[in-house]
Amino acid sequence: MDRAQKEKLVEELGQIFESSGVVVVARYEGLTVAEMQVLRAQMGEAGGSVRVAKNKLAKIALEGKPCASIADFLTGMTVLAYSEDPVAAAKVADAYAKGNDKFQILGGAMGGTALDVAGVKAVAQMPSREELIASIVGCIGAPAANIAGAIGAPASNIASILSSIEEKAAA
């Protein structure tokens, strides 16, 4: 890899570190190519990505970034899992680590907050962005349905009262 390619890679990694909601660093020593492809597929389905990069280049890319604290985790064979959704990459990495002993989570970062292994697991337990949006919409929709029912009910009562008055007047 020549200098221009390294500079381009550092720039790409810098963009990843700036724009990602969460970055998880894990050790992947011993994973087969097929196992890594499974991880990439699962991460892609969740809206995240997996990136293997030289630790030295990743550390250079981390300089001055909010998540610079994860540089300490970049030793040995490491992989970066990241997503814009602040929960997706952590969920997939945690689930994958439970099913594969060769994949070990070392830590990560959520914005400027450093996460240890327990922190990544805690983030993985949080509801995803889509789940939160669905629950908020449910909370907003329920009162609206109640209001519509309350508004509709008196109108029918008023109509029946008016028809009763009309019948009495006609008689």
Q: Are residues 135 and 68 in the same domain?
A: no
149-158: average pLDDT: 60
Q: How many structural domains comprise the chain?
A: 2
The domain of 135 spans: 127-171
Q: Are residues 121 and 131 in the same domain?
A: no
Instruction: Report the CATH number at residue 74.
Output: 3.30.70.1730
- Bridge-based pairing of strands 48-51 and 22-27 is unpaired
142-168: average pLDDT: 66
Q: Are residues 139 and 73 in the same domain?
A: no
pLDDT at position 53? 86
- Which residue has tokens 């990694």? 13
Q: Are residues 104 and 153 in the same domain?
A: no
Structure-token pair, residue 100: 């594969």
Q: 117 or 135: which carries more pLDDT confidence?
A: 117
Q: Which of 100, 76, 83 is nearest to 27 (CA)?
A: 76
pLDDT at position 85? 86
Q: Are residues 136 and 165 in the same domain?
A: yes
Instruction: Please report, rounded to a whole number, the percentage of residues in the chain having pLDDT higher than 70.
Output: 87
Q: Are residues 32 and 80 in the same domain?
A: yes
Q: Are residues 120 and 67 in the same domain?
A: yes
Give per-residue pLDDT as tens, 45-88. 999 999 998 999 999 998 888 888 888 899 989 999 999 888 89
